[in-house]
Structure 1
Amino acid sequence: MSTSYDREREVALHAVRKAATLCQAVQSQIDPSVIEKEDRTPVTVADFGSQALICNALREAFPDDPIIAEEDSSALRKNQGVLLQVTQQVQQIRSGVTPNTVCSWIDKGNAGEYSDRFWTLDPIDGTKGFVRGDQYAIALALVVDGVPQVAALACPNLPADLDDDDAPTGQAFIAVRGDGAYQVSLNGEDDSGTRIHTSDAETPANGRFTDSFVSAHSAHDMAKETGQRLGITADPIRMDSQAKYAIVARGDAEIYFRLPRPGTNYTEKIWDHAAGMLVVEMAGGTVTDVNGDPLDFTHAPLLTENTGIVATNGHFHDQVLDALEMD
């Protein structure tokens, strides 16, 4: 393994592990009625707590690195009850912290603009999955000169094997550009992990695709029609968060679609894709937008130069793009 980013890899993995511990603790306390009431308090607590822990870990290790993260503490400071809950959760990991300290850690993620070297973080990707008790991810990536170089993608509810009902859950996916991608248990002490590869399916008809669980996040009908044109007969794997990138990277699916819904002008955020993209690429796959263009991280925090996302196992990417028939 290259030594270029060894320290960054180590810090990133340990940071997402700590954040995953906090998120799992909060998720285990969610009452089913939360779903019916659309109470965002649990995910709010986990979002802010996760960001606080990771931003602090990064600043302690790399004090000069800007961080572009999803949250800031302004709303939290106005709700002392939720701030207290966030502080109590963070104290389970870092004892003795105060509410003001927690807010200052969260705001270390407010860099907001592109620089030659920065970290980008989504403290909880897959809000609805988190509340339902399903898939979500903690996504952290280091971007250098506009290119993701290190990724730590924690998926606390993802089993080690989708086909094994008894497989342990809680996986992290670690990638360093040029050094491959690895699956590491979130609950273990081994930092090296097992190297993963995309599937060896050479035609899309033999594969499966995955897209968002929630139709508001991706055009399900367009994905289905594209799958039919490619001859795919298997049912799609639908799940929340960048866990979709992870299952493409380790060969559970061959294609991940995030297709813009007709009539919308949504622009993707960098923190929703930087970590997952690198994991797939270092596992042997290919990631572009729907036009075949590489993802452009030089306009942070938005992917303003890109439309939609297509990730594949790398064997038939152009064929998938041709089948999309985007207007």
Structure 2
Amino acid sequence: MPLLHLSLPPHRLLVAGGRRRLLPLPPSPRRVCVRAAASVELEVAAEEVYELPFPSERAAHHRELAAAAAAVERACRLCVDVKRSLLSGEKKIFEKNDQTLVTVADFGVQALISLELQQSFPSIPLVAEEDSASLRSSNADNSSNVLVESISSAVADNVSNTDSLLTHDDVLRAIDKGGKDGASFDSNPATYWVLDPIDGTQGFSKVDDTLYVVGLALVVNGKVVAGVMGSPNWASDTIANRKDDSIASRYDRGILMIAHEGCGTWTKRLYDEFGQFTTSKDTWNRCFVDSCSVVHKARYCLSDNQTWNMIPLSVVFNSTTDESKPRDENELLTSYVFSGSLCKYLTVAYGRASVFVLKARTKSLKSWDHTVGVICVQEAGGQVTDWRGEPLDLEADLTGRRDIYPHGGILITNGVLHNKLAELIKANY
């Protein structure tokens, strides 16, 4: 397990007259060097109690998963809170240098989860999507100050340690703990968290009920051992796709999915029957992939920004999105699920689709778009490889652990179909 020589300052949330007051903007963060070691004793602070569906003696990383589940559930609450005011006219969305959108919720979730994990596992580094450079570089811009204020307020409203003081500095440092300059690994095996604060930001920022996922995973020695996905808009009755993006019932939505090596994949509802986040002990349900073993009878899931002819299977099969249309062995049923990759992993792990095929448009993909999905699908009985049938190499990026390099793309299946489809893809790629 790697040593992380960093201790965030205590949270400083100044409360006066019954209102939180957040203090001014900070200097730039320091880079942290992470080096592998044979073993480390975890310094565990008082952690939030979170009941899992299996006993601790069965799960080597029970405490880490419990803390991760609690943090992701809090992060989902933050997303819902931010979403309510996202289009209110305040400056809460902006475009990064790579032309991708980022919101108050993206930054807020990363800061919140960073702070929550820091309380219980300060020695485990975090690899995550965002950093605060874009916020810090616009200090003189009033819109940037509004964003930082909004981010800090969202975190302060949802962080578990409400008795401590929290400043803008603490929030931005927490974001940068997972940023590209937050930690440097060596080439040895390491233990670290991987976080995608919101996978599906584009839809999150524009559509009320689109699918998006908060994804957090624990990697130990190159292997994903535990993970959590939270999706506040997950509908329990139908798969959400481009043609059916609405949620029929206000209350019949929201899911938390957890997985632990050797303990299976489990889900529970995020909301109770009144549409409020659950506060009582809830029933966990074991989750399994579907059992379809016939290639042309399976349901296939694609990214909404990719077309069927980009997939090697298109050489052999036609595709249709019409479920009512009679199909023969030459045509496959496909669904285009709106937003990020993790929604598709969730869909396969839950059993709503048999297969998700993703073409890699560049040589590398970001680890946070896939890591937690791997453990959730595998523990539900499925399989994840690249297009050559090789497992994803999470340690290929030796110093940053931020990139993976799958050959051709990624194939996620219910396991039963995996070898057949991998052979077809390899033969036609």
| TM-score clears 0.5 | yes
Superposed CA deviations along residues 212-264 of structure 1, whole A, max 9, x for unmatched, are 1223xxx5422371682674442424222211111111110000011134xxx
Give CA-to-partner distance per residue, 1:81-103, whole Å, 9 cap, x none: 21111111112113542211101
- Paired residue for 1:248? 348
Q: Does 1:268 align with 2:368?
A: no
* C-alpha distance after superposition, 1:96-141 (max 9, x if no partner): 4221110111122122536511001111111212123211111100
Mapped partners of 1:69, 1:207: distance in 2: 34
- Matching residue within 119, 123, 126 for 2:200: 126
| Runs of 5+ consecutive residues of structure 2 not aligned to the other structure | 1-53, 139-143, 240-246, 271-276, 319-328
Q: Which residue is equivalent to 2:300?
A: 209
| 1:54-65 mapped onto 2 (5 Å cutoff) | 54-65=113-124
| Aligned-residue RMSD, C-alpha | 2.5
Distance 1:32 1:213 in 2: 27
Query: Which secondary structure state, in structure 1, belongs to the residue aligned with residue 258 of structure 2?
Result: strand
Q: 1:33 to 1:53 in 2, by over 3 A?
A: closer
Deviations, residues 25-82 of structure 1 (Å, cap 9, x unaligned): 1122233999xxx855984211110000101111111111011111111212232221
SS across alignment from 2:166:
coil
Residues 158, 93 of structure 1: CA spacing in aligned structure 2 closer, same or farther, 3 A cutoff?
Answer: same
- Residue 378 of structure 2 is aligned with which of 274, 281, 289? 281
Is the 1:182–1:192 Cα contact (8 Å) retained in structure 2? no
Alignment of 1:1-40 (within 5 A): 1=54, 2-31=58-87, 39-40=94-95
Give 3-state SS (helix, strand or coil) of 1:122's partner: strand
Q: Which residue pairs with 1:178 in the alignment?
A: 262
SS at match of 2:317: helix
Q: Is the 8 A contact 2:360 2:406 kept in 1?
A: no
The alpha-carbon distance between structure 1 residues 56 and 191, as it changes in their structure 2 partners (threshold 3 A), is: farther
- 1:188 correspondence with 2:264: no
Unaligned runs of 5+ in 1: none
Pair 1:51-2:110 in alignment = yes
Equivalent position of 2:157 in the other structure: 92
CA contact (8 A) 1:210 1:239 kept: no
User: Structure 1 CA distance, aligned partners of 2:298 and 2:72?
Assistant: 31
Tell me, what secondary structure is at the counterpart of 2:262?
A: coil
Q: 1:238 aligns with which of 337, 340, 345?
A: 337
Check the 8 A contact 2:349/2:382 in 1, yes or no: yes
The runs of at least 4 aligned residues of structure 1 exceeding 6 Å deviation read none
Q: 1:222 to 1:304 in 2, by over 3 A?
A: closer
Q: In structure 2, the residue corresponding to 1:297 is in which secondary structure?
A: coil
SS at match of 1:178: coil
Deviation of the 1:179 alpha carbon: 0.5
Q: Which residue of 1 aligns with 2:288?
A: 197
Q: Please, what TM-score do these two structures have when normalized by structure 1?
A: 0.89
Larger radius of gyration between Structure 1 and Structure 2: 2
Amino acid at match of 1:69: A
Task: In structure 2, give the amino acid aligned to 1:107.
Answer: D
Q: 1:146 maps to what in 2?
A: 222
Contact 1:208 1:237 in 2 (8 A): no
- Give me the whole-angstrom Cα distance separating, in 1, the residues matched to 2:348 and 2:184: 30
For 1:87 and 1:31, how far apart are their aligned partners in 2? 18
Partner of 1:222: 310
Instruction: For residue 151 of structure 1, report the CA deviation from its aligned partner.
Output: 0.4
Q: How many residues are matched?
A: 318
TM-score, normalized by length of structure 2?
A: 0.69
- Give the superposition deviation at 1:316: 1.2
Which of these residues, 113, 116, 122, is aligned with residue 185 of structure 2? Answer: 113
2:19 corresponds in structure 1 to none
SS of alignment partner, residue 101 of structure 1: helix
Task: Tell whether the 8 Å contact from 1:112 to 1:301 is kept in structure 2 after alignment.
Answer: no
Report Cα offsets for 1:134-164 as digits up to 9, x if no partner: 1111110000010000100111111123269
Give the partner amino acid of 2:200. G
Q: 1:75 — aligned with what?
A: 134
Q: Per-residue deviation at 1:312?
A: 0.3
The equivalent residue for 2:357 is: 257
Q: Say which is worse superposed, 44-53 or 223-232, in terms of deviation.
A: 223-232
